[in-house]
Amino acid sequence: MTVEFAPVPQPDEVVRAEALRRHATLAKPVASLGRLEELGAWIAACQAQSPPRPFARPRIVVFAADHGIAAKGVSAYPPEVTARRVGTLLAGEGVTSALAQVGGAGVRVVDVGVDGDTPLTEFKVRKGSGSIDVEDALTADETDAALRAGMAVADAEVDSGADLLIAGDLGVGASTPSSVLVAALTGTEPVAVVGRGSGIDDVTWMRKAAAIRDALRRARAVLADPVALLRTAGGADLAAIAGFLAQAAIRRTPVLLDGLAAGAAALVADELAPGARSWWVAGQRCAEPAYDFVLERLDLKPLLDLDIRLGEGAGAATALPLLVMATRLLTDVATQA
């Protein structure tokens, strides 16, 4: 059965205007806080109330999966690293775990396609994906299952009180299919989207460029169908993140976007659920060149530019305190009166 998405509502523009008017009455020069004022007004519009509520339960959800293309030598790390990093996050000892505490966020890990065994079996679609230069990443049923997994996780988080979401990725080889999706959806040539990913050398970069070229040739044949694109050139994590982002927008929940994998999935999600981009803000400018094409297509301006390329939601988690501050300015600062 094909996945279908409900219509996407839009943030409340009347409330956004009210929030900006409120900023003009605060005990400070008018428009003196720049993008923090825009952010606060966006949060108010998403919540449909001004001043907005301080975030009570921000949540980072890390979708973990490995990619078969890694076997072609496009990554600096072997697939077995992923399961170990999942364990580190589950123990609360990962990079994202540390960053999340600063922003007051909880962290959840979802295994949708790790090429190994983890304790997280509820949403597992398969172990690893196909090598997208010569075969599909997923079957049609697996693609649907991954999309539904992302939707179900978004619903569960919102139903549990999450009022701000971050989607992260974790897995070896993810930047290659992500770059293919970005190139396909933005009409970009392969060489323009090939980045250093996990920190690869020049020889590995050339292998990665060839893999992206071959996968992009296959992806362009199904470009008109975003679900087929995920099946052909994505992976379980990218499909799950796309479903997660689309469903978050349908559920009127703002999302802070992370790096390349989340950005690539966001491009697909906005195709699946038109208008979803209104519920997203870019936490950072990812160090991967493909991410600039994501920002341009989605018309987003990143909050930070720190050359972060880890994934795992780390870049977005770094920007999370800015959203907390933007909200507090509207709730805690006295007016001129």
Q: Catalytic residue numbers?
A: 312
The burial class, CB within 10 Å (0-12 / 13-18 / 19+), for 184 is buried
Q: How far apart are CA 1 and CA 3, in angstroms?
A: 6
H or E element in which residue 204 lies? helix 202-219
- Indicate the SS3 state at residue 164: strand
How are the residues of the chain apportioned to helix, strand and coil, as percentages rounded to the nearest 5?
Answer: 50, 10, 40
Q: What tokens were used for 95? A: 């990079």
Q: How far apart are CA 308 and CA 129, in angstroms?
A: 25
The burial class, CB within 10 Å (0-12 / 13-18 / 19+), for 186 is middle
Q: How far apart are CA 176 and CA 79, in angstroms?
A: 14
Q: Tokens 């971050």 belong to which residue?
A: 166
- Indicate the SS3 state at residue 59: strand
Q: How far apart are CA 329 and CA 321, in angstroms?
A: 12
Peptide bond between residue 321 and the one before it cis (omega within 30 degrees of 0) = no
